[in-house]
A and B are shown apart, each in its own frame.
Chain A
Amino acid sequence: MDQALMFVNAYLIPGLVSGSIYALGAIGLTLLFGVLRFTHFAHGDVMTAGAYLALAGVGLFGLHPIMALPLAMAGTSLLCLGINHFFYAPLMKRPSLVLTISSFGVALMIRAAIQLIYGVESQYYVRGIQKSREVFGTFRIVDRHIWIGCSAVALMLALHLLLTRTRLGKAMRAVSDSPDLARLTGISTTTVIRYTWVIGGSLAAVAGVFLGWDGYVHANMGWDQLLPISAAAILGGLGRPYGAMVGGLVIGMAEELSSYPWLGGDALLSPGYKTGVAFAIMVAMLIWRPNGLFGEKVR
C-alpha cells in the first residue's frame, strides 16, 4: 500500500501536473505552427514572461496566483502581438526559416529583458509549506495541484469549444489547412494570425504561471521548457491542438515515471536526466512517425 501511495504522490501527480503544463505550452506552439508555418522558438520565453507578469501581480497587489492569471494572460498577449508586429510580420514573405531565426533572437531578447528587470535570482509566488487535502481518504494532494489540473482541463475545453463552435475557430482551422484557400473565401489571415497570437500567448502565460507556482520563477525557466513542449507538439503532430494536449501529458508522465524504481532498488533513470526522456521520445517520433501519433503514415 505504501508503495502505491508513494507512486501516486511522488510520480503520478507530478507527472499529470507537468503534463498539463507542457500541454498548455504545446497547444500554443502547435496553433502558431498551423497558422504561421514556423516553429516559434521564443514560446518558452513567452511562458517566462507570463510567469513574471503574474509575479508582479502577486507581489504588488498580493493576489492569489490564480487571480493573477488574467493579468498575465493579457500582458503576454500584448507582448506577443507586439513581437509579431515588429519582428515577425515584416519577415512574413521570407522563407519560414528566417522567421525561426528571428524567433530565436526574440527568445534571447525576452530573457535578457526579464533578467534586466528582475535579476537572475529565483523567486516564489508563495513561500512555506502548502496546504494539502485528503482525497478518497488516502491520497494527499496539494491545493495548487488541484487548481492547476482543473484550470488546465477547463482551458482545454474552452479551446475545444472555440475551435469547433465559433467563426474564429473555424477560420483558424481553415487558415491552418490552406492559407490561400482561406484567403479566397474572404477570411482575413492577418486577423486570424492576431487571434492565434492572443490564444497561444495566453495559454503560454498560464503554463508559465503554473510552472512558477509549482516550482519557482526564474529567467531560464521558459527556455528550458522549449524542448519538452516541442516534443509534446511533435508527438501530437505539429498543427494539431488535440494532439498537443495528449503529447504534453505523455511527455510529462514519461519524464516523471522514468525515475520510478521500476526494477526495484534504484531509480530507473537518474532524475538529473529527466529532460533527456522528452528528447529521446521526440527523436524516436521524428524518425518513425514525423507526422505525430495521430498523423497519417509518413509521406
Chain B
Amino acid sequence: MDILIGYVNYAIALATMIGIYAIMATGLNIQWGLTGLFNLGIAGFFAVGAYSSAILTTAATGKHLGGFDLPVVFAWPAAMALSALLAWAVARICIRLRADYLAIATIGIAEIVRLVLKNEQWATGGTRGISNISRPFEDLTGMWAGLAFLSLVLALAAAVYWLAESGRLSPWGRVVQAIRDNEDAARASGKDVEALRIQGFVIGAALMGLTGALTAHYLKFIGPEATDPLQITFLVWVMLIVGGSGSNKGAVLGAALIWSLWSTSELLTSRLPGEWAHRAPFVRLFLVGLILQFVLQKFPAGLMSTGARNTPSKPKKPSSRNTVHVLPPF
C-alpha cells in the first residue's frame, strides 16, 4: 500500500512539473516558434516571476523584503506583470537586433538578474534565498494536497494552451508568423513589425514569469542556485525543438516527453552507488544534448510538424555592401 502511495505521489509530482514546463515551452513557442525571437534568457524571466511572487506572499522575516502577505490570486498576476515589464524594457532596446545578437542580449539579462538576486541581500535573501513560501491547498490531507495543486497547474496550462492556440490562429498570430518568415514583406504590407515583435516577446516572458511563480510555490523555496538556470533554459529549448517549434501542441508534447525522460531517468540513476549517483545528472544532460542534435539533424520539424515552415527564415545575411571585413581596418 505504501509503495502504491509512493507511486501515486511520484506521478502527481511528475504531472505537476510537466504542467509547469508545458506553460514555459508554450511561452517560448510564442517567442521563437511564432515570432522568431531567440530567447536564451528564459531563466531570467522565470526567476523574476519566482522572486516577485515569493516576496509578495511571504510573511515579514527581516531576512528579505517581504511582509506583504498577499494571496497568490494577486501575487501570480503581479509576477507575470513584473516579468512582462522586464521583457518590455529589454525588447524596447534589443528587439531590432539580429536573432543571435538578441540571444546574447537575453543571456546578459538573465546573468544580470542572477547577479541582482545574489547581491541584493536586503530584498532577496542573497544566496540563502527565500523559504517558507506557501503552497496553495497545502492544508489538505494526504495526497489531496498534491492533487489539488496539480489540478490548478493543469487548469492553468490548459488555459494557456487555449489562449496560445487561439492567438496562433488569430489575425495577430498570422501576422507574427509572417514577420518570422519574411520581415520585409510584412513591413511592406504596413505591419508595425517592432510593436508586434515586442508583443510576442512580452507575452512569452509573462508566461515564463508565471511558471517561476508556480515553481516557487510548488517547491516552497526559491534561491539563486535552487535550480541551475542554464539547465532550465536548455531543457525548455529541447522541449520546443523536439516537439516542433511553431506548434503549441508540439510544445506541450515536448514538455511531457522530455520531462518524463528527465525525471524517470533520475529515478533510475539515483539507485546507482555513491559517486556514480552524483555524476549521473551530467550523463543525463549530455544525452539530452544528443537528443537535441539528433532531432535538429533528422527531424528538423520536430514531432509535431505544423505543415508550414517550422524554422524562422534565414536571417538577412549581411549584404555584399555591408560585408564584415577581415582585412585590417588600419
Q: Which residues does A use to contact B, with CB under 8 Å?
A: 31, 33-34, 37-39, 41, 86-87, 90-91, 94-98, 100-102, 104-106, 108-109, 111-113, 115-116, 119, 160, 163-164, 172-173, 176-178, 223, 226-227, 230, 234, 237-243, 270, 272-273, 275-276, 278-279, 282-283, 286-287, 290-291, 294-296, 299
3 closest cross-chain pairs (CB), A and B: A239-B324, A109-B289, A279-B108
Are A37 and B317 CB-contacts (below 8 A) given A104-B234, A106-B289, A286-B97? yes
Q: How far is the CB of B229 from chain A (nearest CB, A)?
A: 11
A-B contact pairs, 20 of them (CB 8 A): A33-B324, A39-B103, A95-B311, A95-B312, A96-B100, A97-B99, A98-B311, A105-B237, A105-B289, A108-B234, A108-B289, A109-B286, A112-B285, A173-B325, A239-B326, A270-B119, A273-B112, A273-B119, A278-B108, A283-B108
User: Which of B135-143, B200-208, B290-298 interfaces with chain A?
Assistant: B290-298
A-binding residues in B (CB < 8 A)? 38, 40, 93-94, 97-101, 103-105, 107-109, 111-112, 115, 118-119, 230-231, 234, 237-238, 241, 278-279, 282-283, 285-286, 288-290, 292-293, 296-297, 300, 311-315, 317, 320, 322-330
A38 to chain B, nearest CB (A): 7
Cross-chain contact A291 with B322 (CB below 8 angstroms): yes
B324 near A227: Cβ-Cβ < 8 Å: no
Check if B38 sits within 8 Å of A275, measured CB to CB.
Answer: no
With A112-B282, A283-B108 as known contacts, state yes or no: A173 contacts B289, CB within 8 Å: no
How far apart are the CA atoms of A31 and B328 in the complex, in Å?
13
Extra 4 A-B pairs, beta carbons < 8 Å, given A41-B40, A178-B323, A283-B108? A105-B296, A108-B288, A112-B285, A276-B111
Residues of B within 8 A of A290 (CB): 97-98, 101
Whether A234 pairs with B101 at a CB distance below 8 angstroms is: yes
CB of B135 to closest CB in A, whole Å: 30
| B115 and A176 contact, CB distance less than 8 A | no
Q: A116, B237: Cβ atoms under 8 Å?
A: no
Q: Are B93 and A283 in contact (CB under 8 A)?
A: yes
Contact of A272 with B118 at beta-carbon distance under 8 Å, contacts A112-B289, A178-B323, A240-B329 already known: yes
Give A100 to B38 CA distance when docked, in angstroms: 10
Are the C-beta atoms of B297 and A227 separated by less than 8 Å?
Answer: no
Known A87-B293, A227-B107, A279-B111; contact A100-B327, beta-carbon cutoff 8 A: no
B230 to A223, Cβ gap below 8 A?
Answer: yes
Whether A116 contacts B283 by the Cβ 8 Å rule is yes
- Cβ–Cβ contact B100 & A239, under 8 A: no
CB distance from B212 to the nearest CB of A (A): 21
Partner of A101, one of B98, B104, B237, B320: B237
User: Whole-angstrom distance from the CB of B282 to the nearest CB of chain A?
Assistant: 4
Q: Which residues of B contact A286 (CB under 8 A)?
A: 94, 97, 101, 105
User: Please, how many angstroms separate the alpha-carbon atoms of A51 and B184 in the complex?
Assistant: 44
Decide: A101 and B323 in contact? CB cutoff 8 A: no
Residues of B contacting A38 with CB < 8 Å? 100
Q: How many contacts between A and B, using CB within 8 angstroms?
A: 167
Also in contact, A95 and B324, with CB within 8 A (given A102-B293, A116-B286): no
Q: A108-B230, A227-B111 are in contact. Are A115 and B289 (CB under 8 A)?
A: no
Inter-subunit contact B323/A238 (CB<8 Å): no
C-alpha gap A239/B328 in the complex (Å): 11
CB neighbours of B94 from chain A (8 A):
283, 286
Q: Please state if A115 and B282 are interface contacts (CB–CB under 8 Å).
A: yes
Cα distance A282–B102 in the bound complex, in angstroms: 11
Smallest distance from the beta carbon of B31 to chain A beta carbons, Å?
A: 13
Chain B contacts for A238, CB-based, 8 A: 324
B280: nearest chain-A partner, CB-CB:
A116
Residue in B100, B118, B285 whose CB lies within 8 Å of A108:
B285
Closest to B120 in A: A272
Docked-complex contact A282 and B108, CB < 8 angstroms: yes
Max count, chain A CB within 10 A of own CB: residue among B107, B292, B293, B312: B293
Q: How many Å lie between the Cα of A160 and that of B188 in the bound state?
A: 44
Residues of chain A within 8 A (CB-CB) of B112 are 273, 275-276, 279
With both beta carbons as reference points, the residue of chain B lying nearest to A238 in the complex is identified as: B324
CB-CB nearest in chain A for B40: A104
Task: Report whether B282 and A282 are in contact in the complex, using a CB–CB cutoff of 8 Å.
Answer: no
Cβ contact within 8 Å between B314 and A96: yes
| A173 CA to B276 CA, complexed, in Å | 48
How distant is the Cα of A240 from the Cα of B329 in the complex, in angstroms? 9
Which among B97, B241, B315, B325 has the greatest number of chain A C-beta atoms within 10 A?
B325
Known A-B contacts A108-B285, A113-B286, A275-B112; A163 and B119 likewise in contact (beta carbons under 8 Å): no
Bound CA span A267–B324, Å: 38
A31 neighbours in B (Cβ, 8 Å): 326
Query: What's the least CB distance linking B169 to chain A, in Å?
Result: 25
Q: Is the CB of A237 within 8 A of B324?
A: yes
Determine if A226 and B322 form an interchain contact, defined as CB atoms under 8 angstroms apart: no
Nearest opposing residue in chain B for A90, CB measure: B297
**What residues of A have a CB within 8 angstroms of the CB of B326 in the complex?**
31, 34, 163, 172-173, 176-177, 239-241
Which residues in A have their C-beta under 8 angstroms from that of B230?
A: 108, 223
Partner of B315, one of A97, A116, A164, A287: A97
CA A291 – CA B324 in complex, angstroms? 8
Contacts of B237 in A (CB 8 A): 101, 104-105
Tell me if A116 and B282 are in contact (CB < 8 A).
yes
Question: Most chain-B CB neighbours within 10 Å: which of A178, A226, A286, A296?
Answer: A286
